[in-house]
Chain A
């Protein structure tokens, strides 16, 4: 079955530590890949996206993500987390030729001082 998996429901990191949020997808072909962030009570904001080309993608707020075709993964990373990064993060895919996003279940990030 087609799916987007975010295996970590909740992650806690210390401020200044590095962060990696995992995302795996299961589709027949490589889809378009996205990461969104949602602060409490807010809508979703696009962090970055991957369509093709360089497999390391830079986004806003110092985030980056690496596409690995062999692992069907698109993990989000940040070298040094700030307290303001505490939020929920969603990985999403869009099948090529389609118009809509399919979301993972999200990973909630807590940042401790």
Chain B
């Protein structure tokens, strides 16, 4: 059971480049979320989904897009990378809202 898988683990982008962070879970979880973690700020919610075809914005959605075409996958797209998007990104999934989320191991992104 792989749980929540994030790829890549590390990425360096130049300002203005676009890329997609991949997230896949094999637990048939309906709820999936993307967070970014910055020093001294904890984790902040970027986007979330409550099921295939349904997404919504979190606390810090600007500069990011998501889609959820299948239950398993929830990719996060950076449209035009900026240095302010340098962060560690975590994907998480849950069977139900109050069940507690399972986190992936993260993607460390640096934008230069």
Contacts and interface: CB of A to CB of B under 8 A. Distances in A.
A105 to B, nearest CB: 4
Main secondary structure of the interface of B (DSSP, over half): strand
Contacts of A32: 98
B106 interface: yes
Contacts of A34: 100
B90 A49 contact: no
B60 interface: no
Interface residues of B, number: 24
A105 B93 CA distance: 21
Interface string A28-62: 00001010100000111110010100000000000
Interface in B7-50: 31, 33, 35, 40-45, 48, 50
Given A90-B43, A94-B98, 13 more contacts: A32-B98, A34-B100, A36-B103, A43-B90, A43-B104, A46-B100, A46-B102, A51-B98, A92-B43, A96-B98, A101-B33, A101-B92, A103-B35
Interface of B: 4, 31, 33, 35, 40-45, 48, 50, 58, 90, 92, 97-98, 100-106
